[in-house]
Amino acid sequence: MRCKHWCRVSLDLAREARQKAPTECVDRAARCQLSAHEGDKHYGLLAELDTYGTALWIRRRGAYVDLVVLRDCPVAGPGPDGDGCCLFAGHTEQHTWEDTSEEVLCTS
């Protein structure tokens, strides 16, 4: 199951994100894309950035919130037609294809 925490995007961060996002359209809140977890680190996907496998994420660590550009996770599910993971490289929780109890949407 996916984390239920939402990260709010302040006006200043939304302006910065719009400058970096190819569509200049950014939501004001993003749900943490990691599987359910303990702790205060949360990551919400804001935008895919380019064809080189990077995305713009909002990262929340306790009360501190910032924007980070992270490379896409390179791991694919088992089998010849395995789904790719929709998270970032080096994430600590399950890959999105391991989390089958809830549909996970991604654009990559």
**Claim: this prediction has a pTM higher than 0.95:** no
pLDDT tens profile 3-37? 999 988 999 999 999 988 888 788 889 999 999 99
Has residue 77 got a pLDDT over 90?
A: no
For tokens 């929709």, name the residue.
86
Q: What percent of the chain has pLDDT over 70?
A: 90
Q: What percent of the chain has pLDDT over 90?
A: 44
Torsion-angle region of residue 63: left (phi > 0), alpha (psi -120 to 50) or beta? alpha
